[in-house]
Amino acid sequence: LLPPDQFIPILEDEGMLWKLDLYMGQQIIQSMRKKQQKGIPLVPVSINLSERDFTVCDMIDKLARRMDEAGIERKYLVIEITERAIGRDPELLKQIIEECGNSGFRVWLDDFGSEYSSLNILSNYHFDVIKLDQKFLKTMQKGNQKGKLLIAEILDFAKKADITALAEGVE
């Protein structure tokens, strides 16, 4: 078993991560198509994409074409973008997020509450779902009162802004 933190940085550094991400997207789409052909109801499946995926190729167009060829509605493939990626190139990511939405894909903000958190992300970008980072949520277990208040406020904001909030790793 090779954990992602051991191979993803290498693929990113070599400019090859987009190939793996596109391959994984294709595998997800093929799996959905088989289920659809068998009459099994589809549920959305998410895929994490790197901002570098979008600088090397038009990842959204490639995924959209594959979804269309398979006859699957785009709402069933969810694009997850980490807040760390937004910190690297905010303008590029803003364009990508808008393109995803305009192309019919749902967009999730992954790892919110990690070391790169910024409230500007919540106010300047449109996300369908905010995934609260597992490490951030652990502050509640440690009796961190400020952490508990902050999480409560983020959840309240998400509800008022009509954004779904998802707690990562609470299973």
Burial of 76 (0-12, 13-18, 19+ CB in 10 A): buried
Instruction: Note the pLDDT tens digit of each residue in 40-76.
Output: 999 999 998 887 788 888 899 999 999 999 999 999 9
- What pLDDT sits at residue 116? 63
pLDDT grade for 171, boundaries at 50, 70 and 90: low
Does the pTM of the predicted model rise above 0.85? no
- What pLDDT sits at residue 117? 62
CA distance 21 to 78: 13
CA distance 32 to 43: 9
- What pLDDT sits at residue 129? 92
pLDDT at 127 over 60: yes
